[in-house]
């Protein structure tokens, strides 16, 4: 079903490569440089967090990686394909099968049940209904919502909606899951649960998770953290270095 990145000849260590990306927004007569030259390589299967204060360009970079926005200059490669070169169909294909999106505001389609939300990307991908329903039920089971598949979003709590979103993001076995502030609208405990769930699923399925966040709970599970500041990469830290940073944050706070 999925284009099986395992067997692709392109199997490179980096699933995402960001090369000297800049982005300029025009606000009336003012030009705002949101990104001032970003270089970043994201390894296959890693759990990467993009941290930074709001206004740092974090979300802009995140949208570039997800193919939701185009850089002013520079290139973004996903599996070594320059996504600026893709036409509308290919972009839709990329969003459908290569990338799973998780949003701060959950964005469960309100008119559909949990199960229908999860099966929608599979239907877009051409899977037949029966198979999609089976897989959707299995995915909902895996995120702990096996018994709530026929509920509408309005009947689900925030945490449950985010679980549906995670199941939906994984529907077409994407190579990358992009999570934009996945815990931003959740309380501490629920946020922690969602982070643990994401971590577990990413490990089980060897899927690359990229999340933009300023939730420090995310640091514990991240393999690497990219700190963005003022449109540039401030520093990139591996997990070993992280404990020190967290300690510092802890003492500072």
Contact 193, 224 (CB under 8 A): no
Ordered DSSP codes for 220-234: GG-SEEEEEETTEEE
Residue from 23, 44, 58, 95 in contact with another protein (CB under 8 A): 95
User: What minimum distance in Å lies between the beta carbon of 79 and another protein?
Assistant: 5
x-or-dash string of contact with another protein, 108-137, rule CB under 8 A: -xxxx-------xx-xxxx--x--------
User: How far is residue 15's CA from residue 24's CA, in Å, rounded to a whole number?
Assistant: 25
Say which DSSP state 144 is in.
Answer: T
Q: Does 21 bind another protein (CB under 8 A)?
A: no
User: How far is residue 188's CA from residue 140's CA, in Å, rounded to a whole number?
Assistant: 22
For 134, phi and psi rounded to 5 degrees? -60, -50
Closest CA to 167 of 202, 143, 131, 132: 143
Ordered DSSP codes for 65-133: HTTSS--SEEEEEETTEEGGG--HHHHHHIIIIIEEEE-TT----TTS-HHHHHHHHHHHTT--HHHHH
User: What minimum distance in Å lies between the beta carbon of 91 and another protein?
Assistant: 9
User: What minimum distance in Å lies between the beta carbon of 193 and another protein?
Assistant: 22
x-or-dash string of contact with another protein, 75-94, rule CB under 8 A: ----xxx-----xxxx-xx-
Residue nearer to another protein on the CB measure, 40 or 94: 94
Q: Does 96 bind another protein (CB under 8 A)?
A: yes
Say which DSSP state 175 is in.
Answer: S
x-or-dash string of contact with another protein, 135-174, rule CB under 8 A: ---------------------------------x---x--
Residue from 37, 68, 158, 223 in contact with another protein (CB under 8 A): 68
Contact 88, 94 (CB under 8 A): no
Residue nearer to another protein on the CB measure, 9 or 250: 9
Residue nearer to another protein on the CB measure, 87 or 204: 87
Q: Does 56 bind another protein (CB under 8 A)?
A: no
Strand order in the sheet with 176-180: 99-102, 176-180, 208-213, 47-51, 224-229, 232-238
Q: Which residues bind another protein (CB under 8 A)?
A: 3-5, 7-10, 12, 59, 63, 66, 68-69, 79-81, 87-90, 92-93, 95-98, 101, 103-105, 107, 109-112, 120-121, 123-126, 129, 168, 172, 180, 184
């Amino acid at each position: 079903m999925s284009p099986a990145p395992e067997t692709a000849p392109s199997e490179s260590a980096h699933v995402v490569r960001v090369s000297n990306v800049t982005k300029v927004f025009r606000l009336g007569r003012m030009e705002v440089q949101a990104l001032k030259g970003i270089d970043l390589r994201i390894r296959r299967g890693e759990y990467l967090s993009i941290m930074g204060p709001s206004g740092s360009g974090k979300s802009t970079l995140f949208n570039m990686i997800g193919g939701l926005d185009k850089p002013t200059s520079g290139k973004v490669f996903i599996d070594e394909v320059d996504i600026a070169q893709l036409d509308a169909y290919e972009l839709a294909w990329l969003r459908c099968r290569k990338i799973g999106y998780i949003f701060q505001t959950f964005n469960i389609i309100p008119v559909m049940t949990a199960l229908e939300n999860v099966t929608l990307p599979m239907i877009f991908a051409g899977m037949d209904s029966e198979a999609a329903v089976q897989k959707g039920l299995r995915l909902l089971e895996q995120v702990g919502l096996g018994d709530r598949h026929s509920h509408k979003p309005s009947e689900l709590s925030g945490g449950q909606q985010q679980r549906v979103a995670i199941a939906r993001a994984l529907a077409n076995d994407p190579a990358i899951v992009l999570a934009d502030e996945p815990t931003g609208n959740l309380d501490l405990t629920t946020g922690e649960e969602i982070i643990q769930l994401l971590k577990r699923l990413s490990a089980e399925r060897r899927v690359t998770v990229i999340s933009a966040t300023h939730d420090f709970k995310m640091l514990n599970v991240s393999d690497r953290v990219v700190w963005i500041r003022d449109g540039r990469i401030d520093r990139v830290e591996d997990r070993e270095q992280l404990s020190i940073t967290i300690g510092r944050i802890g003492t500072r706070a």
